[in-house]
Amino acid sequence: MKAVTVRRHGGPEVLTVEELPEPVAGPSEVRVRVGAVALNHVDVWVRKGMPHLKLSYPFLLGADVAGTIDQLGPGVSGLSIGDKIVVNPGHSCGRCRECLSGRDNLCRYFQLMGEDRPGGYAEKIVVPVSNVVPRPASLSDEQAAAVPVTFLTAWQMLTRKAPVHPGDDVLVMAAGSGVGSAAVQIAKLHGARVIATASSDEKLERAKALGADETINHATQDLVVEVKRLTGKRGVDIIFEHVGAEVWPKLILCACKGGKIVTCGATSGWDARTDLRHVFFRQLEILGSTMAPKGDLYPILDHVAAGRLKPVIDRVLPLEQAEAGHRLLEERAQFGKIVLKP
């Protein structure tokens, strides 16, 4: 089968198109013919290399996969060859207290496909049957692949970690990203007034089309001044953050008294400066978030099927052009998701 592999860390040029043997589904596994695989920033980080990674080469990136079951492993029931599915990208032990309490993303053995275990940059992959979710009939492979990581991440952040209530002011950083475009929609779904930021007026117009009420161009406008202006100097109730060191000191000033800052990433750097005086004096809450329980993908897909949430796709590229997709992602040249199609 055709695949795009990583055999060493480095720039986008280390992504290599090659032929690999087709995988075979083992007990309680299914093989999926990949219809589409979406890119995430974690693909870039893994490609570049992170301290905790212990990869077996050749390694496949790609956490977001949609496709069709084409092989059933021994012991699999309730599924059929030809079923159209979405792959839930989080893997856990399935036996511990956290897993059995519906908090599997807190399992000490939690792994993300394409980061801790091989992903979907291939024509076929094998996944546990517990990671297979039926795909709504209304969604194409490309649309379905654009859902899991970004919507699961944003869903936990805005419904579990910092639950949005009607009338809340929610600041969504980098609304042009996949997770940012999902956050705009989820915050609006729960009745918030959404203030979206992006680095270009074009991206801000697209954020408005998704439901953003106010916008800030953080490349040309002062983020703190604009937030204070839009909220009558009060600040926002919730800040949806994944940019990191570049904006973190400003975000501390953008939150209202008792406000929440929830973060899932640090694309501009992890070593952020925090003025603790603002944290304790204004009683701020700083919350970390990674993915969401597997079960959350079901209500998300229900909302997507009903049209209340919409996966945003910037462009679809052939699998062989994964290198070009990575360059676009690093340049922040996209709005929404870049999707690869084998």
Beta strands in 51-192 (DSSP E): 64-72, 84-87, 90-91, 111-112, 124-128, 132-134, 169-172
Residue 168 and residue 191 in contact, taking contact as beta carbons nearer than 8 Å: yes
Q: What is the pLDDT of residues 123-147, one digit of tens each?
A: 999 999 999 999 999 999 999 999 9
Pick the closest to residue 25 from 78, 63, 81, 91 (CA basis). Answer: 81
pLDDT band at 52 (very low <50, low <70, confident <90, very high): confident
How far apart are the C-alpha atoms of 64 and 23, rounded to whole Å?
18
The answer to whether the peptide bond before residue 21 is cis (omega within 30 degrees of 0) is: no
pLDDT band at 50 (very low <50, low <70, confident <90, very high): confident
- Beta carbons within 8 Å of 104's beta carbon, 6+ residues apart: 90, 92, 94, 98, 110, 293, 294
The CATH number fitting domain 151-288, selected from 3.40.50.2300, 3.40.50.720, 3.30.70.100, 3.40.50.150: 3.40.50.720
pLDDT confidence of residue 269: 84
How far apart are the C-alpha atoms of 205 and 155, rounded to whole Å?
23
Mean pLDDT of 326-341: 93
How far apart are the C-alpha atoms of 213 and 195, rounded to whole Å?
6
The pTM is what?
0.94
* 84 pLDDT above the threshold of 90: yes
Pick the closest to residue 294 from 81, 151, 172 (CA basis). Answer: 151
pLDDT confidence of residue 211: 96
Pick the closest to residue 93 from 107, 74, 112, 79 (CA basis). Answer: 107
How far apart are the C-alpha atoms of 69 and 85, rounded to whole Å?
7
How far apart are the C-alpha atoms of 319 and 16, rounded to whole Å?
11
How far apart are the C-alpha atoms of 120 and 126, rounded to whole Å?
9
Output 79 or 269, whichever has higher pLDDT.
Answer: 79
How far apart are the C-alpha atoms of 162 and 178, rounded to whole Å?
19
Q: What is the mean pLDDT of the chain?
A: 95
Q: What is the pLDDT of residues 201-235, one digit of tens each?
A: 999 999 999 999 999 998 899 999 999 999 999 99
Phi, psi of 287 (to 5 degrees): -125, 135
pLDDT confidence of residue 195: 98
Domain boundaries, the chain: 2-146+312-341, 151-288
- Beta carbons within 8 Å of 311's beta carbon, 6+ residues apart: 139, 143, 144, 146, 147, 151, 304, 336, 337
Output 267 or 82, whichever has higher pLDDT.
Answer: 82
How far apart are the C-alpha atoms of 158 and 260, rounded to whole Å?
10
Beta strands in the chain (DSSP E): 2-6, 15-19, 29-38, 64-72, 84-87, 90-91, 111-112, 124-128, 132-134, 169-172, 193-198, 214-217, 236-241, 255-263, 285-288, 313-318, 337-341
* 245 pLDDT above the threshold of 90: no
pLDDT confidence of residue 148: 97
Using alpha carbons, list the distances in angstroms from residue 108 to 92, 99, 130, 295, 320. Answer: 8, 10, 18, 18, 35
Q: How do the residues of the chain divide into helix, strand and coil, expressed in percent and rounded to 5?
A: 30, 25, 40
CATH class, domain 2-146+312-341, is alpha beta
How far apart are the C-alpha atoms of 171 and 216, rounded to whole Å?
10
CB atoms within 10 A of CB 49: 13
pLDDT confidence of residue 267: 84
In the numeric block, which tokens belong to residue 147? 């859902």
Residue 135 and residue 26 in contact, taking contact as beta carbons nearer than 8 Å: no
* 54 pLDDT above the threshold of 90: no
CB atoms within 10 A of CB 322: 27
Mean pLDDT of 335-341: 94
* 279 pLDDT above the threshold of 90: yes
How far apart are the C-alpha atoms of 73 and 66, rounded to whole Å?
19
* 270 pLDDT above the threshold of 90: no
Mean pLDDT of 279-297: 96
* 108 pLDDT above the threshold of 90: yes
